[in-house]
Structure 1
Amino acid sequence: MTNESLATYANYALASAALVLTLAMLGFALYLARAVPVREEAAARTADRVGARSGAGRGGVDLADRDADGEGSSGAATRADAASAADEPEQTSLRGRQAAGIAGSLTWLGTGLLLLSSVLRGLAVERFPLGNLFEFSVVGCLFAVATFSAVSLRRDVRWLGLFVTGFVVLVLMVAQTAWYVPADELVPSLKSYWLPIHVTVATLAVGICVVAAIVSALYLLSDRQAVSPRFWAKLPPAPQLEKLSYALHIIAFPLWTFTIIAGAIWAHEAWGAYWNWDPKEVWSFVIWVVYAAYLHARATKNTSRRTANWIALAGFACIVINYTVVNFYFIGQHSYAQ
């Protein structure tokens, strides 16, 4: 099979991945649409039961009815009903659960197709497929959906699927239309064993940061529940959103730290200096500083979690600037990465 044929099949696999992930996005959207009304009805029934028990308890509760914590039987029933409502993961219509299951399977399929596209692209160019912005975007999307799929093995994150797949589909559309470049050889400075090490770790860090940024944004918007309660009723409580965002960031930050260190070593081998104040190098360091500020703010008692997550979103904004604005409008030693 010729390199041209491999490149063509890589494009076919990429287009198929975009289509499959679009279908997954629609499935997750249907899940949320079906889940919210049922959750509201269950909450209303729970509130009715709690109100009835509380009313009955007011007339007949005395000190003998209180438990060891000093709480009346009606209070204990209230806690039990509230816990039951919180622990019922299947307060969703059958059609909604089926849509989420199909969407999850399609997400795994889309992940496999993105992996296939990257492998075929690498075989077509006879190198690691991370030599330009188009290839970086495809592999970054691969790591983003892989991160979501991996988290879904341990947590119920069906509510997150719509946002992750939606973002990935958008990036894939832009990559295929605006950033696409034909399969070609690398420039001489990129022909190094550091390419699969440095750029792969950087791409993995960005993929994880994509999911983390989406969760942070949902956390910051969680105080909008009064505006659209039907939507927010399905998402986890704000503290759980914030903890998930932190868990993802705490994984991505060391990876980005390694990216900068490996890049400096590679720069010394390719250009004779560890640091050349290239725009790409500077912005990579800016990203590191902003995320370090996020982790510091997250660990500081006097800084609110909302402020810390705003800093995290600022870090993701720096990533977007680094791989779009800096790539196209700043001339430097990394200009070949367009």
Structure 2
Amino acid sequence: MGSRALAVSLALSLLAGSALSQTKPAPYHAPRTAYGQPDLQGNWTTATITPLTRDAKYGTRNVLTKQEADALEQATREQVARADAPTPPEATVKDLKNADCGPDGISGFNCGYNQGWKDPGTTLIDINGEKRASIITSPANGQFPRRVASNGAARGGMRNRTDNPEGFSLGERCLLSFGSSAGPPMLPLMYNNTYQIVQTRDEVAIDVEMVHDVRHIRLNASHGPAILKLWMGDSIGHWEGDTLVVETTNMRPEQSFRGGSPNQKVTERFTRIGPNKIAYRFTIEDPGVYAEPISGEVAMNTTKGQVYEYACHEGNYALSGMLAGARAEEKSGREARADGARKAGGGD
């Protein structure tokens, strides 16, 4: 190559490098705490309309086009606006009962919650400008992997759930968050998606809005004995650059994720990717139940909302009422059977 051609090639390379540096922003580096750790502290929300599993029509594609994302977010805003609208004065109970509850049941008379109680968000998960079709990123189709075994230790279904208070879910008993809000993994719900993160030299604490849970992540420590099962598991963390890596084991069997086993391991990664956003990634390993690990990603965005006390059972007579109702049904059944037996035996 001649000297002139070499000079032209070098100039083009410099121009290409300059253009690339202009289009690709420099990586974000989180501010540091007084202990020199990346600062994750503050109030964050995971509210999103991105579902856990992906609509089959997207196949293995988890990044939506701008048109697809705009349409989904606009439809959500319109649906929320309908739910927020005043009830027409001429509406009858029948009208309200048949009203559209929407994908999350946020309007209408016989929906579980009306819009005033809910805060599911109106936007999709946005990671580095990519709008996501599902929280699950692996398996590639955004679905749960094939189950290789059922978990007999997991609490199954709702059958005979009123035999004892222990038959009700952890959320109904105000012991732990509904769904997997407290986690791990920490997943968004229809409301109460706020978290407050506080750091010390040796611990990261996460206050979960839903059902007043606090996760304690011990840094650079060792797991306790496997026989010691804990609510939200035994979480041990360490820093890899700007990322907080948390490994959780020893979870109680009542808290198994989606029918998983108490032996499941959850690895979480918290990376502050901007002044107002944390990329929260997780992987669930449960080889005795699922054929392959499950991975996902959620955006935690800053919020001005505070984490208020979650008043759960105060003034709540539903649980005692349901149990009393079940006992009354059992008594009525016993009396009916006894009466039938007397008649069959020729008694009065």
The interval holding the TM-score normalised by the smaller chain is under 0.3
TM-score between both structures, scaled by the size of structure 2 = 0.25
Larger Rg: 2
TM-score between both structures, scaled by the size of structure 1 = 0.26
Which of the two has greater helix per residue?
1
